[in-house]
């Protein structure tokens, strides 16, 4: 979940056949194990175990991360949108002022050429 999911989705849009092959190979490798899997208590409509938080178990533990920027951003959409809008506004303002300075410099050059 998080950044890896986003990368997979974007890669699927670019090259779906290649991503399918990679995911099939990785899925087969991750799903195959010589260890027997005990049947955990599960319930579709309620928590399986209230005493214990299971999280990730098995050989996938080494691939987990404590923090995902993409997951954080999806949970904090309003601040992320505000920061994005502020950054876009600042960029447009900076580009507009740079263009105005450039136009002013060209006008000064033209005026200097006319005075010669």
Q: Is the Cβ–Cβ distance between 3 and 64 less than 8 Å?
A: no
Whole-number pLDDT of residue 87: 96
Whole-number pLDDT of residue 32: 62
Whole-number pLDDT of residue 6: 81
17-71: per-residue pLDDT in tens? 888 888 777 775 666 666 766 666 666 666 666 566 666 666 666 777 778 888 8
Distance, in Å, from the CA atom of 82 to the CA atom of 89, rounded to the nearest integer, reads 10
Residue indicated by tokens 């002022």: 97
Q: What is the DSSP string of 45-68?
A: SS-S-SS----S-GGGGGG--S--
Vertex 40 angle, CA 34 and 44, to 5° = 130
86-102: per-residue pLDDT in tens? 999 999 999 998 888 88
pTM of the model: 0.43
């Amino acid at each position: 979940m998080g950044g890896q999911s986003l990368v997979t989705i974007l890669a699927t849009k670019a090259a779906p056949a290649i991503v399918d092959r990679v995911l099939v190979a990785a899925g087969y490798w991750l799903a195959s194990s010589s260890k027997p899997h005990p049947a955990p208590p599960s319930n579709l409509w309620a928590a399986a175990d209230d005493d214990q938080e299971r999280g990730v178990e098995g050989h996938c533990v080494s691939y987990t991360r404590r923090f995902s920027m993409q997951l954080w951003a999806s949970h904090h959409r309003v601040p992320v949108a505000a920061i994005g809008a502020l950054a876009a506004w600042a960029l447009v303002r900076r580009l507009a002022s740079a263009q105005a300075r450039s136009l002013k410099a060209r006008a000064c050059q033209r005026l200097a050429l006319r005075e010669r």
